Amino acid sequence: MVSKNGNQLSRSATHLIHRAGQCATDIFLVEARASGLTPRQFAVLMTVAEEEGVTQTDLVERTGIDRSTLADIVARLLGRGLIQRRRAKEDARAYAIKLTAQGWKDLRDAEPGAAAADSRILGALPPAKRQEFLESLNLIVTAVRK
């Protein structure tokens, strides 16, 4: 049912999550501008830093980035010399990803901007609601991944 006063979108979880994601990306790009990384590139580098040798398939599962987009991100990070890719020992069809020295440096350099972006985003909420908000987002992500 379409509302005459235009409030329908203000009650649409799908729309609001999408808009919040756009806002978060915009804030990240401003705060972490010096790093030259996008939020998705940052997420990939963070995931690889947490588990060096992770495969591209594992990155898809851990980050939620679809395969084709992840392949493009990996290609860009390879081109910038931030990661290296080798055939995985366990499965010669898969690639294991590791950060290069430059990748570690760029990740460290981007972390303050990423933290500032998170602070700006969470700063829109009253302090008492911030942890609950993060837990709610995690519940949604976990429920959808099952």
Using the predicted structure, report yes or no on whether residue 67 has a pLDDT greater than 80: yes
Domain count for the chain, please give it: 1
Using the predicted structure, report yes or no on whether residue 2 has a pLDDT greater than 90: no
Return the pLDDT at 1: 47
Domain assignment present for 117? yes
Using the predicted structure, report yes or no on whether residue 3 has a pLDDT greater than 60: no
Determine phi and psi for 55, rounding to 5 degrees.
-85, 165
Measured in Å, how far apart are the chain's first and last C-alpha atoms?
Answer: 30
Range of the domain at 68: 36-145
Domain assignment present for 16? no
- Of 71, 69, 37, 72, nearest in space to 56 by CA: 71
Confirm if 88 and 96 have CB atoms less than 8 A apart. yes
Residue 117 exposed, middle or buried by CB count within 10 Å (0-12, 13-18, 19+): buried
Domain assignment present for 133? yes
Domain assignment present for 92? yes
Percent of the chain residues past pLDDT 70, beyond the cut: 95
Per-residue pLDDT tens digits for 14-52: 999 999 999 999 999 999 999 999 999 999 999 999 998
Domain assignment present for 114? yes
Using the predicted structure, report yes or no on whether residue 8 has a pLDDT greater than 90: no
**125: CATH:** 1.10.10.10
Domain assignment present for 82? yes
Q: What is the DSSP string of 42-100?
A: HHHHHHHHHSTTEEHHHHHHHH---HHHHHHHHHHHHHTTSEEEEE-SS-TTSEEEEE-
* CA 70/CA 95 separation, integer angstroms: 13
* CA 49/CA 103 separation, integer angstroms: 9
Per-residue pLDDT tens digits for 102-118: 999 999 999 999 999 99
The pTM assigned to this predicted structure is 0.87
